[in-house]
Structure 1
Amino acid sequence: MNFTHPLSPGKLLMLMLFCLFAFTASAQKKNAAYQYHIRKATGPIVIDGMMDAAWYKADSAANFFMVLPMDTSKATLQTQVRMTYDNNNIYIIATCYTSGSGQYMVESMKRDFAFQKNDNFIFFLDPFDARTDGFSFGANAAGGQWDGTMYEGGKVDLSWDNKWVSVVKNYPDRWVFEAAIPFKSIRYKKGVDVWGINFSRNDLKTTEKSAWAPVPRQFPTASLAYTGSLVWDEPPPEAGTNISLIPYALGGVSKDYQAKTGTTWKKEIGGDAKVGLTSSLNLDLTVNPDFSQVDVDQQVVNLNRYELFFPEKRQFFLENGDLFANFGYSDIRPFFSRRIGLNAPIRFGTRLTGKIDKDWRVGLMDIQTGEADAAAMPAQNYGVLTLQRRVFARSNIGFMFINKDATGAATPGTQYNRNVGMEFNLASSNNLLTGKLLGIKSFTPGLKGHDIVAAGHLQYLSKYWTAYLQDEFVGKNYTAGVGYVPRTGYNKISPLLLRNFFPKAGGILSHGVQLVSNYYFDEHFKRTDNESTLAYLITLRNRSTFTLSAINDYIKLLVPFDPTNTGKPLLPIGTENHWNTVDAQFVSKPQALFTYLAETAYGGYYQNGHKTTVTMQVGYRFQPYVNIAVNSSFNDLRMEQPYGNTSFWLIGPRTDITVSNKLYFTTYIQYNGQIRNINTNIRMQWRYKPASDFFIVYGDNNTPSPFMVKNRQLVVKWTYWCNL
């Protein structure tokens, strides 16, 4: 296979290595001088939002640094943090002082809130002080909890859920967060007595975000490159026997009115188990899992030529999920767990994930599914092995092997699919330079040659400049049987350049110009399509934003395509289309009770047509109990026959009611005019004990006009988290 890149992976590697050596010369941890000394509790700690006597003997962390609006001074609001521990838990208490009168700003008391829309206190733990992965815990000012696993040096996966307790207590001039984190709920290495840590505070009334250890404003406060040090007076105690059993029992009823079948009754039991093989290595087991409590996917109007992506939400796949899910790129995912159990039931599964030591992470997964007659699909076995080795300051080398095998009767030529790949992830010690170099090969019966992936990118991110360049090649025979790779047989080059400006006064906090392009070529480097966007971005001092964009599109169809995605005649292969679009978007300030996003775009479309898109998102909160949001979009397509004029509405009102931070009601209704469907999902969740839940979930699908029920289902589910 011969192909030429103007920026080949080999050249990218040389560039990355050059920059790597230039930046890793200063591999010293940036905020190593910021140390918090944690000492064993001198008395009992009661989680009630008040200072017990033992707290007064703990060290205090204060004098936070401002991150937003600007990172050039100390925070104007005072925050004071204390930590201690005993043989079972880490304890933390944070006193968050407020300014002036008026209520705090929160969406609701629901778990895993949106960071930017809530007054909150969050802290980030890096038990190996490796500055690449860790854990995050916190709460908003109404007591809604936040917890997640951290990956890629500063991203937080809020789908992760574990057992811990917290209380928030409000006073006239402050609010206090107090929590106990069991040692059994986190992964750490025996004998390591210095962890990475940082504390973050977000206050919407003053539009101030701050951190204990200073973080440059272009990075999130979750950036592990800028953690301080949590210094233990003695190595943390061993978690001891760490085995959790999470059984469930489920009952449900459903009926398919379209198929005119009878009522189906569902009775199931199953469960998960978590076994801590070491304090940093975890074994997950599941038997007959059920995912009825998972949030419904948000629908979209699909005018794309390729498959849409929807994220994984199932608990079994989430702990250390980045080891599997983040190998590759957003549109080159050799492993995508939602492929498993999509059309067939999962019978059982095992996952071994975690850290071997400071430098090595491992992930091993094996899952067996049953047969699915309706999908003409035999039983399948899925095996995945992934290894990650930290190198230099914060970079790593990753390896992944994926095997999909039919374990029942299979159609000839589809018995297996295998992928093997390696990637190098670059992250400089100060996080200014990041990058990736990726190579993958697939093995599929009957397909040989043109079955590799070679890709890479490099990014420089400072306060004033962002420069990004990505290069991808995906062979036409590359196959990811358990992955998400919507497009094959292409070369792609994606540059981005952004320049920010910061006025010293006035209502504008920052503004900047951004140019980004995505150019696609076939394997012989002939252009097939491209999109280039020139945007002007403005952020006001109240945190509202305005973006104005001019977009240029060119598409040469490689497969037949209906531009309405409604079953109309297909445009033939080779059809060329070229158009321009203007897009304007405004996002209101997050500290208001009423918030909104308004966006409109007008431009060309296929067959010399025109497309107008109007998007609105509005929300109102009755603090802290009710949060109402409505997402809507309108697409108007005007084309030559046989397509003519076509319009689509998508409307999705959602209401979250939080009686407390343990009892939630969610109602989600979605009308999608493109597929002529109304979807309703109503869910009640009662967290009667930490990590133990009782769910009632109702869902249905209907045809809007004439109104006809397609299907309905009601599920009741009980789960219990038991630590042995």
Structure 2
Amino acid sequence: MKLYRLFWILILLLVLRANSQKKNEEYRLHIKKATSSIIIDGVGDEQAWSVAEEANHFFMVLPMDDRKATEPTTIKMTYDDDNLYLLATFYNATKANYFVESLRRDFSFGKNDNFLLFLDPYNNQTTGFSFGSNAYGAQWDGTMYDGSKIDLNWDSKWISAVTRNKDKWVFEMAVPFKSIRYEEGVKEWGINFSRLDLKSSEKSSWTPIPRQFPTASLAYSGTLVWDSPPPAPGTNFSIIPYVLGDIKQNQEIDGSVKTNGKIGGDIKFSLTSSLNLDLTVNPDFSQVEVDRQITNLDRFELFFPERRQFFLENGDLFANFGYETIRPFFSRRIGLNVPIQAGARISGNLNDKWRLGVMDMQTAPVDTSGQPSQNFAVLSLQRKIFGRSSIGMMFVNKQSINYPQENDSLIDIYAKYNRNLGVEYNLASANNAWNGKAFLLKSFAPTDDDSGFTQGAHLEYTSRKWNVRLQEEWVSNDYSAEVGFVRRRGYKNLSGKAGHLFFPKAGPILSHGPELNGFYYFNEKLKETDHTAYMAYTFDFRKRSSLMFFLSDDYVELLSPFDPSGLGIANLSTGSKHNWNAFGWEFQSKPQSLLTYALEGRLGGYYEGGNRTSLTSEIGYRFQPYVSLKANLNYNHINLPAPWHTNEFWLIGAEADITFTNKLFFANLLQYNEQSNNFNINSRFQWRYTPASDLFIVYTNNYFIEPYQSRNWGLTLKFTYWLNN
């Protein structure tokens, strides 16, 4: 097994260094300083626009990438001493109504007629910024990482406007240079533009991009050429204070109604033009959207994504080390039912090769449980190599401080420290066809039982017709990551997939093809403990709906007691073996319809010779662009021998998203979970009264289903304001 791991690492280090030259270097847009003032009104009739160079003749990416786009698009850009400006005009060759989901910021890309700008100021083809809008003016902004991924949790100060008629829609925007990071004195940035037109089911790009890659792929961006380097960004200093008042009642503790006031805030300071210092004092996250409830029939911990704003900017530097199920750092471990007192983060680019991330967070002690104050420190350093690949290291430290009276029993519960140190290599070929990763992590703890290793590697090839991936993992039984997310320990895993697509020349089906997947787990002595293998066949339709069928084979040897009903009835014993087969399907309707729906199902065997039927559906209707309604349902029917017998439970959710304007939102979520005996209401009103500044009113209530009574409720009023120089 050691030779196998060495083989993988050598492949990832040596394979396909490839030609690092940019694929679309010849696509160049020249930007000149504005010759007149510009008013952001979505009209674009200023003299400065009449002399700006134009990017046009877009390429089709979807349905097929072998021709020019049929929906004409033109882009112009200019700048002054303070702002970067863009004017985009989208002509409608296909006459039909516009399709938009709502006016909510950071909309779903595939459900809106929209335009996106991808900006790579370092021209490194891996990091950058994205800005855009849908056809009704809802804004989109995020940071880019890993060459094509976008973190929409990043918000910045910028303005835009949209106008439209039956023939075209026009988007105009101004982004302050202070709102982005770039290197002083550089005259060439990476850039690309993407348009999705649902009327014609066409996605297009200024530069040619193979259909198997997203238009956000920076490996295929063009070049923005400045007539002179953009203005030196100078020092950017922002203060974002908040004031909050809330009222709460918890019937499960003492039932008393409590009121509370709180103040705190964040500070942002640009250490350099591309490296930022963020400070937070007494942070509050009461406006964060609640987690979607999940029916839990899993043997291992479920993953819920981070939603708190402070942890999300440049979050890839901290959160992407390792794999989704082997993370040395997972920020939701910080402040878990414990107040965060303060924190600091330095993140960004040191230059065009190096990126740095440093974070330090301090939590308060908890008197009722004896949990001490804890400090969480993270260091991430990444260097670009071989064109688009990178090598990085990470160090994570969790340190308990000031145990009450040095209580030995508390030291057993709350370890004095837990640390992780690791290195990682990320492979990305120049044409994006080959991607891979190899990493090694070591944990350090007061006991040998939590001081071990983990390692993983994979290599993936993607072309128009083929997608092939091979992966292996090893987590020792004594590896621990208290500030990370590791679903299981003491295993070795081999997994892979191979998929192929066929493209009919005509008809409603755009592509179809099979995909074979396999996930095989072994203990550290190489004895198989479980596997999941399945064959899927997928159909993608020209109108953007999709259909998939699968057949699966599962085998499990339980490594610990497990209740297959998820209801706490009884446990299957450790070492018991189970094998079953299942059949399933997934269907997603086309996004152009006002009425949309999705259907999923799974029929087949289950533990102990039983069977399980699982049905999931989602239906939505929109009164565009102001109201979007959605309901989802999950039903599980489990038939097992005694003592479980037959059990069934429902998970039902309903959402009403009302967007009065692109600055005034009212979101409502209701969730009924029969498995956890809980009914939840979450309502959030948000008024963005000025860029990046908000007023929130948040109401939450949780009820027991049987007997029906309130568990806890709360009402919060929060006011934030962004002050900057």
TM-score (norm 2): 0.98
- Check if 1:377 corresponds to 2:376: no
Cα displacement string for residues 139-158 of structure 1 (whole angstroms, at most 9, x for unaligned residues): 00111111111111100111
Task: Please give the alpha-carbon distance, in whole angstroms, between the structure 2 residues aligned to 1:182 and 1:420.
Answer: 38
Which of 20, 35, 43 is 2:16 aligned to? Answer: 20
Matches of residues 138-287 of structure 1 in structure 2 within 5 Å?
138-287=132-281
Residues 698 and 209 (structure 1 numbering): CA distance in 2 closer, same or farther, change over 3 Å? Answer: same
Which of 310, 335, 338 is 1:341 aligned to? Answer: 335
Q: Secondary structure at the match of 1:153?
A: coil
Cα displacement string for residues 171-196 of structure 1 (whole angstroms, at most 9, x for unaligned residues): 22111111111111111111111110
Task: Please give the alpha-carbon distance, in whole angstroms, between the structure 1 residues aligned to 2:653 and 2:261.
Answer: 31
Task: Please give the alpha-carbon distance, in whole angstroms, between the structure 2 residues aligned to 1:467 and 1:374.
Answer: 52
- Check if 1:412 corresponds to 2:411: yes
Matches of residues 556-635 of structure 1 in structure 2 within 5 Å?
556-635=557-636
Structure 2 residue identity aligned to 1:34? Y
- Check if 1:32 corresponds to 2:31: no
Q: Is the 8 A contact 1:450 1:476 kept in 2?
A: no
CA positional deviation for 1:100: 4.1
Cα displacement string for residues 517-558 of structure 1 (whole angstroms, at most 9, x for unaligned residues): 110000111000000010000001111101000011001000
Task: Please give the alpha-carbon distance, in whole angstroms, between the structure 2 residues aligned to 1:239 and 1:633.
Answer: 51
Task: Please give the alpha-carbon distance, in whole angstroms, between the structure 2 residues aligned to 1:99 and 1:419.
Answer: 56
Q: Secondary structure at the match of 2:40?
A: coil
Q: Is the 8 A contact 1:629 1:654 kept in 2?
A: yes
Q: Secondary structure at the match of 1:187?
A: coil
Structure 2 residue identity aligned to 1:395? S
Matches of residues 298-697 of structure 1 in structure 2 within 5 Å?
298-409=292-403, 411-412=410-411, 414-447=415-448, 451-697=452-698
TM-score (norm 1): 0.98
Cα displacement string for residues 465-508 of structure 1 (whole angstroms, at most 9, x for unaligned residues): 11100100001110101000011100001110001110111111
Which of 282, 289, 292 is 2:286 aligned to? Answer: 292
CA positional deviation for 1:99: 3.1
Task: Please give the alpha-carbon distance, in whole angstroms, between the structure 1 residues aligned to 2:450 and 2:240.
Answer: 46
Matches of residues 61-72 of structure 1 in structure 2 within 5 Å?
61-72=55-66
Worse-matched range after superposition: 673-682 or 563-572: 563-572
Worse-matched range after superposition: 561-570 or 30-39: 561-570
Q: Is the 8 A contact 1:9 1:437 kept in 2?
A: no
Task: Please give the alpha-carbon distance, in whole angstroms, between the structure 2 residues aligned to 1:18 and 1:444.
Answer: 34
Cα displacement string for residues 4-43 of structure 1 (whole angstroms, at most 9, x for unaligned residues): 26x722111222234234xx2x211000000011111111
Q: Secondary structure at the match of 2:555?
A: strand
Structure 2 residue identity aligned to 1:439? L
CA positional deviation for 1:373: 3.3
Structure 2 residue identity aligned to 1:559? S
Task: Please give the alpha-carbon distance, in whole angstroms, between the structure 2 residues aligned to 1:236 and 1:694.
Answer: 34
- Check if 1:719 corresponds to 2:713: no
CA positional deviation for 1:258: 2.1
Residues 241 and 449 (structure 1 numbering): CA distance in 2 closer, same or farther, change over 3 Å? Answer: closer
Task: Please give the alpha-carbon distance, in whole angstroms, between the structure 2 residues aligned to 1:363 and 1:57.
Answer: 42
Task: Please give the alpha-carbon distance, in whole angstroms, between the structure 1 residues aligned to 2:710 and 2:720.
Answer: 31
Worse-matched range after superposition: 513-522 or 95-104: 95-104
Cα displacement string for residues 414-460 of structure 1 (whole angstroms, at most 9, x for unaligned residues): 10000000000000000000000000000011125871011100000
Task: Please give the alpha-carbon distance, in whole angstroms, between the structure 2 residues aligned to 1:373 and 1:148.
Answer: 39
Task: Please give the alpha-carbon distance, in whole angstroms, between the structure 1 residues aligned to 2:422 and 2:33.
Answer: 45
Count of paired positions = 717
Residues 245 and 99 (structure 1 numbering): CA distance in 2 closer, same or farther, change over 3 Å? Answer: same
Please identify runs of 4+ aligned residues in structure 1 that moved more than 6 A: none
RMSD (CA atoms): 1.1
Q: Secondary structure at the match of 1:12?
A: helix
Task: Please give the alpha-carbon distance, in whole angstroms, between the structure 1 residues aligned to 2:277 and 2:475.
Answer: 34
Q: Secondary structure at the match of 2:13?
A: helix
Which of 105, 114, 130 is 1:120 aligned to? Answer: 114
Task: Please give the alpha-carbon distance, in whole angstroms, between the structure 2 residues aligned to 1:663 and 1:222.
Answer: 28
Task: Please give the alpha-carbon distance, in whole angstroms, between the structure 1 residues aligned to 2:536 and 2:501.
Answer: 12
Q: Is the 8 A contact 1:450 1:475 kept in 2?
A: no
Structure 1 residue identity aligned to 2:492? N
Task: Please give the alpha-carbon distance, in whole angstroms, between the structure 1 residues aligned to 2:563 and 2:544.
Answer: 40
Structure 1 residue identity aligned to 2:178? K
CA positional deviation for 1:412: 2.9
CA positional deviation for 1:266: 1.3
Residues 140 and 18 (structure 1 numbering): CA distance in 2 closer, same or farther, change over 3 Å? Answer: same
Task: Please give the alpha-carbon distance, in whole angstroms, between the structure 1 residues aligned to 2:155 and 2:221.
Answer: 23
Structure 2 residue identity aligned to 1:412? I
Worse-matched range after superposition: 645-654 or 409-418: 409-418
Structure 2 residue identity aligned to 1:11? F
